[in-house]
């Protein structure tokens, strides 16, 4: 029991070895009476997972691949840790929906996290959503599952978490009733904000992952450099807050102090501000509706200048492609996401130039526009087809 007499929240963390997972465990460790770790999942980082198992003693550890699971299983046995090692996609669903679990941190990067997160929604869990691809790929399907089961959805992305904090506590998705005029998503502009189109096109992976403000994984860092990350967040905001595309605005804010804003009908704009540290939105969601210590340094505003710019969709076409996919509807957002994942992976491998990311996404959207998106199988098929089309296009670029 906690000091307040409440039972601890029982957590499964999907993507525990990534940046969000590590930060989540940092916050959890600050409040041992509030949280109990049921399961941790990872992909390739066996040593980090082993260290997390030593520290947090989850009941289960899940690795996505049999080979890494076998290595972890052997190490767990050597150290006689009371942790059962599982493997594969079915195990992700198992630990996400286990009866003991009341809270899921969904932080697996990309579409791979979708099935387990959707299953948790259908099971009525409290979902802390850091995996924006879940809503990008399956927006209506996922929100319908949340509504049907009574699950609770709390956003972890700093921008959506900021909007959640700036909206009325009883906001139900009705902009007019709440007096909301628009949602403003802030973007840092990434490492290429001031570069010419030619310099951006010739950028290297090392340059793309060197984010000026945030510590993030490699894939999301490239998305930030292309502004695709902001495009995905626009789609996510549409579903989280029942917003029409024209009610979602993007503004470049290089200092990353204002994390996002809500504009109201009376002219008020309420902004959420803070030090750029993901532990703040994580702690807000973990403790909601209470606020708990996140271990984050205080925001210092004295001597700081806050600036805001219009995003340049000519130099950063991925942002416009996301708005286009949102307008197209159906499976277009799933196609956009899959094509982007393939292109970013090729770019990080050094196989294609940075300019090929937007070009391959545009080609894939043109090729596969208009697909159905009523079931998970249809969405996964759209994902599969998009990866194939994007891969063929990038083969030509690479060859």
pLDDT tens by residue, 145-184: 999 999 999 999 999 999 999 999 999 999 999 999 999 9
Interatomic CA distance for residues 389 and 336, integer angstroms:
11
Using pLDDT thresholds of 50, 70 and 90, give the confidence band for residue 2.
low
pLDDT at 195: 94
Residues 265-268: contacts with CB under 8 Å, at least 24 apart:
265/179, 265/180, 265/181, 266/179
User: Is the four-CA dihedral 239, 240, 246, 248 of positive or negative sign?
Assistant: negative
User: What CATH number has the domain spanning 9-155?
Assistant: 3.40.50.720
**What is the C-alpha to C-alpha distance for residues 391 and 343, in angstroms, rounded to an integer?**
8
Write the pLDDT tens digit of every residue in 323-362: 999 999 999 999 999 999 999 999 999 999 999 999 999 9
| Per-residue pLDDT at 71 exceeds 60 | yes
Tokens (6 digits) for 3: 């000091």
Name the fold adopted by 329-399.
Rna Polymerase Sigma Factor; Chain: A (1.10.1740)
Structure confidence at residue 4 (pLDDT):
54
**Taking 70 as the threshold, does the pLDDT of residue 203 lie above it?**
yes
Largest CA distance in the chain: 64
pLDDT of amino acid 237:
97
For residue 63, give the H/E element and its range: strand 60-63
Structure confidence by residue, pLDDT tens digits, 269-328: 999 999 999 999 999 999 999 999 999 999 999 999 999 999 999 999 999 999 999 999
Helix, coil or strand: residue 62? strand
What are the phi and psi torsion angles at 52 (to 5°)? -65, -35
Question: Would you kindly state where each structural domain of the chain is located, as residue ranges?
Answer: 9-155, 158-309, 329-399
Q: What angle do CA 384, 390, 391 make, to 5 degrees?
A: 90
Joined together, the tokens standing for residue 103 give 């809270």
Give the relative orientation of helices 332-348 and 317-328 as an angle to the nearest 10 degrees: 150
């Amino acid at each position: 029991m906690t000091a307040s007499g409440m039972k601890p929240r029982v957590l499964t963390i999907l993507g525990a070895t990534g940046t969000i997972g590590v930060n989540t465990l940092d916050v959890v460790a600050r409040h041992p009476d509030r949280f109990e770790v049921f399961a941790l999942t990872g992909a390739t980082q066996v040593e980090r997972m082993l260290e997390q198992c030593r520290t947090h003693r989850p009941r289960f550890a899940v690795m996505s691949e049999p080979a890494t699971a076998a290595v972890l299983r052997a190490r767990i046995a050597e150290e006689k840790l009371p942790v059962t090692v599982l493997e594969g996609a079915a195990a992700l669903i198992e630990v996400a929906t286990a009866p003991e679990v009341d809270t899921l941190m969904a932080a697996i990067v990309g579409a791979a996290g979708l099935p387990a997160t959707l299953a948790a929604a259908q099971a009525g869990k409290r979902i802390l959503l850091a995996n924006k691809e879940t809503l990008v790929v399956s927006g209506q399907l996922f929100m319908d599952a949340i509504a049907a089961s009574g699950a609770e959805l709390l956003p972890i992305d700093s921008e959506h978490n900021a909007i959640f904090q700036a909206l009325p506590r009883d906001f139900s998705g009705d902009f007019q009733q709440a007096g909301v005029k628009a949602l403003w998503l802030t973007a840092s502009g990434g490492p290429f904000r001031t570069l010419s189109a030619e310099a951006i096109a010739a950028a290297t992976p090392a340059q793309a992952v060197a984010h000026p403000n945030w510590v993030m994984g490699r894939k999301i860092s490239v998305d930030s450099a292309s502004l695709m990350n902001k495009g995905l967040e626009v789609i996510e905001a549409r579903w989280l807050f029942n917003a029409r595309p024209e009610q979602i605005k993007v503004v470049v804010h290089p200092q990353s102090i204002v994390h996002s804003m809500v504009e109201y009908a009376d002219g008020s704009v309420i902004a959420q501000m803070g030090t750029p540290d993901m532990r703040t939105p994580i702690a807000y969601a973990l403790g909601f509706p209470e606020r708990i210590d996140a271990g984050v340094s205080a925001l210092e505003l004295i001597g700081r200048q806050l600036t805001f710019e219009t995003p340049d969709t000519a130099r950063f076409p991925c942002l416009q492609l996301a708005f286009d996919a949102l307008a197209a509807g159906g499976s277009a957002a799933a196609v956009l996401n899959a094509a982007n994942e393939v292109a970013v992976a090729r770019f990080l491998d050094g196989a294609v130039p940075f300019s090929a990311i937007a070009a391959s996404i545009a080609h894939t959207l043109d090729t596969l526009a208009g697909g159905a998106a009523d079931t998970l199988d249809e969405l996964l098929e759209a994902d599969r087809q998009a990866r194939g089309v994007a891969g063929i296009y990038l083969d030509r670029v690479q060859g």
